[in-house]
Structure 1
Amino acid sequence: MDFSTQKQLHIAVFPWLAYGHIVPFLQVSRFLAQKGHRIYYVSTPKNIARLPKLPPNLSSNISFIPLSLPQVDGLPPGVESTSELPIQKVPLLKKAHDMLETQLAEFLKSSPKIKLIIHDFCQYWLPPVATQFGINLVFFSILNASTNAFWSSPSNMLGKNRRSPEDFTVVPEWMDYPNNIAFKLHEMVSHRECEDTISDAERYETMLLNCKFLAVRTCYEFEPEALRVLSRINQKPIVPLGLLPPSLSNIEGDSAEDENWEALKKWLDSKQEKSAFYVALGSEVNLSQELMHELAYGIEKSELPFIWVVRKPPLVEEESVKNIIPPGFEERVSNRGLVLRGWAPQLKILAHSSIGGFLTHSGWSSVIESLGVGKPLILFPVGSSDLGLVARLMHGKKVGLEIDRNNVDGSFTSDSVAMSIKRVMVDPEGEQFRANARAMKEIFGNIELNNKYLTEFTRTLEII
């Protein structure tokens, strides 16, 4: 596209305060900046400080706008993202986030060139502010089309036809193609714990009604039916902007991380091809000690090599962290298993030839990373949000197997964990998962395809 004739857009970008939202919003910002547009990335100081450094060629087109998060009773001082909180305290973060309205309005007033805001699901108070300054809204949902279609409904999502948790455990009638997209009861109950007095459904619906179009993190090659349903039930343009796969070449670690990787690589190099599996439950999942122990026993019973990244739950004393893993576990598996505490270079690990599968909490970003390098999934959706829906989708597409759990209380056995790992990794009947995951690399790891979607998204913004 010839940018000498193309008018430069001034766009504010405003994600929800969760790392799984902050990073995709930054990826989109970088692409738009590359295309010559002027981006104002709005978040809080701590979240902005966590972001990877911009390449010099983009820094003149992206400004970071820090808004200070107001204090809310019960929200620990200094906390600015969901990864620093247990799920029960997330409503307090939503409350604080809602109080950013005044600061955002002041910023927009001082930046009259901004005529577009790319926003998240959470900011239900944004439409009147945008109207006041003559700004158009574009809703970027970091969720896939199936999840969006599940949450949407033909004009009556706001609790008129789905009130109780049980109502969300069935596939909605408007999703009129063969699928198994619905929550398990225990997932819906735990999701309610992170809702504020204004529910996520209300926030989502308000943003959907007031935006020019909905941009979704998916593509037609993967979810044609869900995109069709989404377009039909929302009287609103739906624009897939691709899967935003991370690029290995974009991952710049510091020297300490590089050293960490050297030791890991040596361990991985010593294993046979596709013989080991990788375990990571995301930055925001905190399982009870009892469930962590059950998971550990399952990993042990699989008798396969593994790397397990164990993170300290937020706001938990160091003493309690020691017992997250069963006593004696690390000694017993030391000849074939590696337990890492803290950060790990997930993409580099997944891309290594000796990794043959990923035991994941089913976060959409993690799934994209795994399928981008053709690795099948052992699906273990623990936590709230859309994890259960993503797991059902991947299980249905046969690129992974969901670990069997009790629908009501979410309990599971170490045997079901071991069985699922072995089926995906080595059993002959798991070959279908392995082959399907390899084939997905053509879509999920295809930078060219995904850039094509981002280019179309950019054109749509320019037309507005």
Structure 2
Amino acid sequence: MDRTEKLHIAMFPWLAYGHIMPFLEVSKFLAQKGHRISYISTPKNIARLPKLPPHLSSNISFVEFCLPHVHGLPAGAESTSEVPIHKVPYLKKAYDQLRAPLTEFLEKSNVNWIIHDFAPYWLPGMAAPLGINTVFFSIFNATSFVLMGPPYVLLGDVRKRPEDFTVVPEWIDYPCDIAWKLHEIVNHQQCMDDVSDFQRLGLLIQGCQFVAKRTCYEFEPDEIKLLTKLYQKPVVPLGLLPPSLPSNEDERDEKWEAIKTWLDTKGERSVFYIALGSEVNLSKESMHQLAFGIEKSNLPFVWVIRKRPVMDNHGDINIIPPGFEERVSNRGLVLRDWAPQLRILAHSSIGGFLTHCGWSSVIEALKFGRALILFSGASSDQGLNARLLHGRKVGLEIERNEVDGSFTSDSVAATIRQVMVEPEGEVIRTNAWEMRQIFDNEELSKNYLDGFCRLIEEFAASV
């Protein structure tokens, strides 16, 4: 194949909004280079994607596969945001049943590459006989995968007990003090099915041509180099894929106008923003402690409280303390279900972000230099991100019980105040502000994507 010949690339993300959007960003870049993209997901996930720019629509096709019904999965659920964590295993079982329609599609469509997520452990064995190359694109950073280990660890029984994940592993060859807390690994095990996430990762790392990561050498040089050594194959950073603010014509959104009017009355970097992502569902007790801590901080804030998924067993009743909104009405804005997060973080009155530590949210915050109040969502990579960012002094982690994850409102208030206003938090505020040079560097991100595009073109041309 000539390198100038255009490729047909299939994209197959996991069923979570934090996954489908980075996959779409990579799709758009490859389509700009003239390659033909088949973006594969379920109808509801495709329907929620933003409209494509007209100049890309001819090169990107959306391929809808209906998600098979699996006993235990709530009717109509097609993403992690629609199910509580203990129902995620059923979503994985349904996703695994997309193997048959995906095989049929690939057999008929002359695909050169499939860029896939962490879940379809069966994909390399299916793609290889069809002559299709595979890229495992992980939307997580390199640190989290270093902590998970090489394939022999992921597929073996090196770590038998949850406690084994709470120590720094012996294969790390640079100074490191990052590990899971016990409550985080126990919580994450709830969302694994018969094939664990670690087994899925191990099989995919072994079976792919190379691994692509949402990171860059400017932020994680040692981690990327070690991953290459652990995997014995190329680990290709794609850059941070910083999202762009919506165009000005979208600013007429009434919800945003009301938020902006409120923010405009506040001082520069005086407000902290709170959002715990689309998948974190705290207990009523934890939500109350968090609310009391926010109240005790005595600082202005914007808090997005999302609608909880079906069959959550908590419901929305009294999820925040009675009278809370009235007591904080002079300095707090409570938003229900959805808010334009990127626009809020971009506003000059926002100084900090109380986050669940999802990597996408971290990238959005540091793109605008916002200091981080780290409150791990206790799933997947979130605890590891909290430790990483705490260590880099761009945020401060809220103190929690390592066994059960409990915390006090006083620790929440103290952490917020230190990050936002107190003198000892100045280093955090300064470091976070300086991170814009990496996290808001569109040219840097473009260079990484260019390198990735050249790699798959040259690989395809050589076979």
Please give the TM-score of this superposition, normalised by the length of structure 2.
0.97
Q: Residue 187 of structure 1 aligns to which amino acid in structure 2?
A: E
Q: CA deviation at 1:157?
A: 2.5
1:156 aligned counterpart, secondary structure: helix
Matched, 1:349 2:344: yes
Matched, 1:45 2:43: yes
Which residue of structure 1 lines up, in the alignment, with residue 94 of structure 2? Answer: 96
RMSD (Å) for aligned C-alpha atoms: 1.5
Q: Residue 169 of structure 2 aligns to which amino acid in structure 1?
A: P
CA distance in 2, matches of 1:125, 1:343: 35
Q: Residue 38 of structure 1 aligns to which amino acid in structure 2?
A: R
CA distance in 2, matches of 1:135, 1:251: 41
After superposition, the C-alpha distances for 1:236-287 in whole angstroms (9 at most, x for unaligned) are 00100000000114587485xx111111111001001111100000011100
2:176 aligned counterpart, secondary structure: coil
After superposition, the C-alpha distances for 1:353-397 in whole angstroms (9 at most, x for unaligned) are 111100000000000000000111000012411100111110010
Q: CA deviation at 1:176?
A: 2.0
Which residue of structure 2 lines up, in the alignment, with residue 201 of structure 1? Answer: 198
After superposition, the C-alpha distances for 1:21-57 in whole angstroms (9 at most, x for unaligned) are 1110000000000111000001011100010010110
Which residue of structure 2 lines up, in the alignment, with residue 19 of structure 1? Answer: 17
The counterpart of 2:269, out of the listed 265, 270, 274, is 274
The counterpart of 2:396, out of the listed 395, 401, 418, is 401
CA distance in 1, matches of 2:205, 2:55: 34
The counterpart of 1:65, out of the listed 63, 66, 80, is 63
CA distance in 1, matches of 2:260, 2:373: 22
Matched, 1:428 2:423: yes
4+ runs of 1 displaced by more than 2 Å? Answer: 152-157, 249-255, 316-320
CA distance in 2, matches of 1:270, 1:370: 21
CA contact (8 A) 1:20 1:365 kept: yes
After superposition, the C-alpha distances for 1:163-201 in whole angstroms (9 at most, x for unaligned) are 111111111112222222210000010001000000000
After superposition, the C-alpha distances for 1:215-252 in whole angstroms (9 at most, x for unaligned) are 01000000111111111111000100000000114587
Which residue of structure 1 lines up, in the alignment, with residue 288 of structure 2? Answer: 293
CA distance in 2, matches of 1:151, 1:22: 23
Give structure 1 stretches of 5+ with no counterpart: none
CA contact (8 A) 1:298 1:418 kept: yes
CA distance in 1, matches of 2:301, 2:45: 32
CA contact (8 A) 1:286 1:383 kept: no
In the alignment of these two chains, the number of paired residues is 458
CA distance in 2, matches of 1:171, 1:317: 34
Please give the TM-score of this superposition, normalised by the length of structure 1.
0.96
CA distance in 2, matches of 1:164, 1:153: 18
CA distance in 2, matches of 1:316, 1:12: 34
CA contact (8 A) 1:17 1:80 kept: yes
CA distance in 1, matches of 2:172, 2:274: 32
- Equivalent positions of 1:234-253 (< 5 A) are 234-249=231-246, 253=250
Q: CA deviation at 1:342?
A: 1.2
Which residue of structure 2 lines up, in the alignment, with residue 163 of structure 1? Answer: 160
Matched, 1:229 2:214: no
CA contact (8 A) 2:144 2:384 kept: yes
CA distance in 1, matches of 2:153, 2:318: 46
CA distance in 2, matches of 1:374, 1:66: 38
Which residue of structure 1 lines up, in the alignment, with residue 318 of structure 2? Answer: 323
Q: Residue 166 of structure 2 aligns to which amino acid in structure 1?
A: T
CA distance in 2, matches of 1:280, 1:159: 36
Identity value in percent: 64
Q: CA deviation at 1:440?
A: 0.3
CA distance in 2, matches of 1:423, 1:32: 43
CA contact (8 A) 1:165 1:185 kept: yes
